[in-house]
Each structure stands twice: as structure tokens, then as C-alpha cells.
Structure 1
Amino acid sequence: MQNILVIDDDKLMCLALAKILTSAGYNVSQAYDGEEGLHIYRSQHFDLVITDLIMPDKEGIQIIRELRKDNNKVRIIAMSAGGRGGATDYLKWARLMGAKQCLSKPIKREELLNAVTAVLAMP
């Protein structure tokens, strides 16, 4: 079973994503902020990290940078509903920082599962 870490300060979103992924057969851990997410990531093995980009304290771009510093082969999916300017700029930055897929919220079940399948298939 593949292990996925979901990081999102929106607890309802985090729980919804975890439910979708668990029902698809993945083992899912959740973190509700960036620091907690990094701590959990460093204490276990994960095949994939899914992170929101706009969060208090530590934003997703910082999380991606730190994850890549710890393991430059880490597979990451970034997601965002955007801030004042919308999600596009944030998701472009995430891609430049090493996210393998970028999703705009709200995320549909099939969109999430297709992205997860594609990223986990990458070497």
C-alpha cells in the first residue's frame, strides 16, 4: 500500500481528500499546517505529498522547498484555490519549485485520483 501525506490548513478539505484516497486503497496521513507536515514527513516514509499552497505560518512553496532539500526525488502534488490573484500564479511557482502536478481547488474526485496515479507512476 502506498503512503500519501496530505497537508492543508482547511481541515474539511484535508479530511475529504483523505477519505477519497483511503477509499481508493492508499494509506493516508494528514497534517493541518506546514510545520506539522514537515515533522510527519521526516518521521515516516511517504510515496507522495499533497500540499496546499496558501497556509498560515508556512506556505506550501516553503514546504516544497524544504521537502526537496530533504529528498530531491520526493513526489509532490500542489493544490490551491488561490489568493487575491487566483490560483494560477501560485501553481506556476509550485511547478517551478518541483511539484509534479498542480491542481486548482475545488478538486474533483477523478481529477485527484488521476493526478495521484500519474505522479506515483513517475520514476
Structure 2
Amino acid sequence: MKILVIDDDPSVRKFITTTLKKENYAVTEAENGAEGLIKLQQEKDISIIITDLIMPEKEGIETIMEVRKINPAVKILAISGGGKAGPENFLLLADVVGANATLKKPFGGQELLMCLRMLA
């Protein structure tokens, strides 16, 4: 199972990637939605995408909508700290546009793994 992690914050990306690799997941990374969509099309074995919602270039909601067009079967976990509006609004919107699960930042490694087990 390969997981694509899309987040513009290098420290968040590193935390998620490290947590997943310790559990023997194959992980590939992207720093924004535009880069994430390119990787999704290049690497055909991606089965789960973990995406932040607030990012430069292409934000998460738009990314989720495009992923659904490219590969409706891929599972999506949306994550957000929410910015000024608060994460609940963004996470609710992520659900509406096609995320399979949502997780509010900050979260711990166990929370992340539990969410992934529910998706798998």
C-alpha cells in the first residue's frame, strides 16, 4: 500500500512520513496539490492520499475534487489546522467534496494510524 502525503509544511510532512514508514507503509510526498496530482498520475500504485487543506499553489479542497475525477477509488484523508476560519469548516467542506475521512491538526501518530486503518 502506497500513501501520498501532500502538505506545504515540511515538518508536518516529515512527521507523517516518519510515522508511516515506521509502520512499513510506502510513502511518497508532495508539497502542494499541483505536485500531488502529478505524482498521483505518475505513480499508479497510490491507494491513500493524506492532504492538507490550506496550501499555496493548489489548496486541498480543489485537489480532492480533481483526485476524484482522476481516480475515484483512491482513499482520501483530509487534514487541517484551519487557519483563521477554524478547521471544522474546512474539514466539513472536505467531506462534502469527497474526502473519506478528516483529521484536525495537531494530531498524534496513533490518531493518524487509526484513521488509516479505518480507510484501508
TM-score over 0.5 (shorter chain): yes
User: 1:28-72 CA distances to partner (integer Å, 9 max, x unpaired)?
Assistant: 000011111111111012010000000012110000000000111
Q: What amino acid maps onto 2:49 in structure 1? A: V
Q: What amino acid maps onto 1:24 in structure 2? A: E
Please give the root-mean-square deviation of Cα atoms over the aligned residues, in Å.
0.6
- What is the number of equivalent residue pairs in this alignment? 119
SS of equivalent residue, structure 1 residue 47: strand
SS of equivalent residue, structure 1 residue 16: helix
**1:118 aligns to what?**
118
User: 1:82-119 CA distances to partner (integer Å, 9 max, x unpaired)?
Assistant: 01110000000000111111000011111000001110
| TM superposition outliers: structure 1 runs of 4+ over 4 Å | none
**1:36 aligns to what?**
35
Q: TM-score, normalised by structure 1?
A: 0.94
Is 1:3 matched with 2:2? yes
Counterparts of 2:103 and 2:7, CA distance in 1: 13
Counterparts of 1:18 and 1:67, CA distance in 2: 20
Is 1:76 matched with 2:76? yes
Q: TM-score, normalised by structure 2?
A: 0.97
Determine what percentage of the aligned residue pairs are the same residue: 40
Q: How does 1:1-123 map to 2 (within 5 A)?
A: 2-44=1-43, 45-120=45-120
SS of equivalent residue, structure 2 residue 34: helix
